[in-house]
Amino acid sequence: MLDIFVDADACPVKQEVYRVANRYNLNVVLVANSWMYVPNETWLRLEVVSDGLDAADDWIVEHVQTRDIVITADIPLARRCL
């Protein structure tokens, strides 16, 4: 199944991602260095990683699969996911 991974710490479009994912029955994983509010939905989860440099990026790269979607403004992360 196609999943959406969000580099969530500074993502300004989380609400839009939630609407699209809900409409198309997609799972969303928000990856962040600290806890943040996440709506209580079965298709949505928060993955809190260590506070280390690029820890969220590394987690996303390790878990993303072919045909998944990554939402990020981080060009080096986008390149690593291709």
Q: Quick one: CA torsion of 30, 31, 36, 42, rounded to 10 degrees?
A: 30
Residue 75 has pLDDT above 90, yes or no: yes
Choose among 65, 1, 71, 68: nearest CA to 32. 71
Residues 6+ apart with CB under 8 A from 30: 6, 8, 11, 14, 36, 38, 44, 45, 46, 47
| Separation of alpha carbons 79 and 41, rounded Å | 30
Length of the chain as a residue count = 82
pLDDT digits (tens, 9 = 90+) for 18-72: 999 999 999 999 999 999 999 999 999 999 999 888 999 999 999 999 999 999 9
